[in-house]
Amino acid sequence: MFKTSRTGRRLRILWIVLLTPPWLVGSLMIAGGLFEGDDTNVEMMIAGAILIGATLPWLAIRVGLPRLWRDMHHSPLTIGLAIPGVLFGSLFLFMGLLEEDEPVIVGIGLFLVAAPLGWCLFRAGQRWRRRQRMVHDLRTYAVGGPIVDTDPFAVIPFVVVGPRIYYPLNNVLLYQDIDQLVWAYGEQTIYWYQLAIWNRDAHAVILPIHVLDAPEALNRLRAVAPWIATGFSRTLVQTWNIDHAEFLALIEQHRTSGQPFAPTWAAGSDTVNVVPRSRQSSQIDFGSASRREQREIERVLTLWSSNQPRGVSLPGPQEQGASVERAG
């Protein structure tokens, strides 16, 4: 079962609370438009449909219903345009066909239906072509074992071949050794989902994935690299950020012994709700937050790469002086 965080459950409740009023009012307006007196009130029906239609794209993304649209799923804009377009286009068509001699309305309706669908098909084609190129590169260059996936990169954004994991990043097929992996978890906002896979050098590859496919992706990682930490918790973050050397040592210990990484303190949810970085947030803080983060990342990377031996011998008080690293 794919576990979600408490924040995720709260978000789901928030979604229900937010979506219920427009759906209720919209349904009442459509019903009212249908049964108003002897005639139908088309305007009221349209208003009701608009109210409901505005919620559809977000609802579709949230519940992950349209698995068939996986290829366009990573772009909320695409769905945000497509669903209302089809919906309103259909209404225009309906109105145009109800009324006699309204070719303009029919034309608008046809355009509204065709344009978003065409855009979706174009985007899906783009992704399909890109994926085919990645698959071609994978079949050409991957070495070390057979490619087990029948349709690589279609559902899971990485492929494991022998001792390496292959993934597309910025339209280039990259790989790294599996024994370098240390940590994986999912990141989620209301719009999108992505998988973060960290390696020993504190580099993470971030792969967009459908939320419904994330459990399978994490399970595959657990199967090929049982020693890695999977899931997200405050304890794991603190341990990674501050007790980095011990964390890597523990992972390495699990890797060499072939044991799955499952200490009780590392238990967490598979996914974490994150806050997307926007240009607005940078404007508000003059970009100081990102500069501060950048400095902190540089600091910890320098610290982690310094490879200082731990447990140095303790100098006695008579050995005061240059041999002792300063503290205060």
Q: Which of 92, 153, 198, 261 binds other proteins (CB under 8 A)?
A: 198
Cα separation, 54 vs 220, in Å, equals 37
Please give the size of the binding site for other proteins, defined by CB under 8 A: 65
Q: Which of residues 269-288 bind other proteins (CB under 8 A)?
A: 274-277, 280-281, 283-286, 288
- Three-state DSSP class for 39? coil
In the complex, minimum distance from the CB of residue 98 to other proteins, in angstroms, rounded to a whole number: 39
- Give the pairing type, strands 181-188 and 229-230: parallel
Using the rule CB under 8 A, is 208 a contact of other proteins?
A: yes
Going by C-alpha positions, the residue among 190, 183, 184, 177 that lies closest to residue 60 is 190
Token digits for 267? 């238990």
C-beta separation of 174 from 134 below 8 A: no
Using the rule CB under 8 A, is 325 a contact of other proteins?
A: yes
Q: Which of 101, 265, 302, 306 binds other proteins (CB under 8 A)?
A: 265
Q: Which of 108, 196, 212, 224 binds other proteins (CB under 8 A)?
A: 196
In the complex, minimum distance from the CB of residue 302 to other proteins, in angstroms, rounded to a whole number: 11
Using the rule CB under 8 A, is 258 a contact of other proteins?
A: no
In the complex, minimum distance from the CB of residue 195 to other proteins, in angstroms, rounded to a whole number: 8
Q: Which of 140, 150, 170, 257 binds other proteins (CB under 8 A)?
A: 170
Which residue number, 150 or 171, has a Cβ lying nearer to other proteins? 171
Q: Which of residues 105-124 bind other proteins (CB under 8 A)?
A: none
Cα separation, 76 vs 277, in Å, equals 16
In the complex, minimum distance from the CB of residue 19 to other proteins, in angstroms, rounded to a whole number: 24
Which residue number, 114 or 174, has a Cβ lying nearer to other proteins? 174
Using the rule CB under 8 A, is 240 a contact of other proteins?
A: yes
Which residue number, 37 or 317, has a Cβ lying nearer to other proteins? 317
DSSP string, 164-189: EEEEEETTEEEEEEGGGEEEEEEEE-
In the complex, minimum distance from the CB of residue 141 to other proteins, in angstroms, rounded to a whole number: 19
Q: For tokens 């993304």, what's the residue?
A: 61
Q: Which of 36, 190, 293, 305 binds other proteins (CB under 8 A)?
A: 293
In the complex, minimum distance from the CB of residue 293 to other proteins, in angstroms, rounded to a whole number: 5
Neighbours of 165 (CB within 10 A): 23
Using the rule CB under 8 A, is 247 a contact of other proteins?
A: yes
In the complex, minimum distance from the CB of residue 247 to other proteins, in angstroms, rounded to a whole number: 6
Task: Specify the length of the chain in residues.
Answer: 328
Going by C-alpha positions, the residue among 120, 189, 125, 184 that lies closest to residue 157 is 184
Q: What radius of gyration, in Å, describes the C-alpha atoms of the chain?
A: 27
Going by C-alpha positions, the residue among 106, 97, 220 that lies closest to residue 153 is 220
Q: b or e along 56-76 (b: 16 or more beta carbons within 10 Å of the residue's beta carbon)?
A: bbbebbbeeeeeebbbbbbbb
Cα separation, 3 vs 220, in Å, equals 16
What is the distance of C-alpha 148 from the center of its chain?
24
Token digits for 220? 């595959």
Q: Which of residues 129-158 bind other proteins (CB under 8 A)?
A: none
In the complex, the residues that contact other proteins under the rule CB under 8 A are 169-170, 183, 187, 192, 194, 196, 198, 202-208, 234-243, 246-247, 250, 263, 265, 274-277, 280-281, 283-286, 288-289, 292-293, 296-297, 299-301, 303, 310-312, 314-315, 317, 320-328
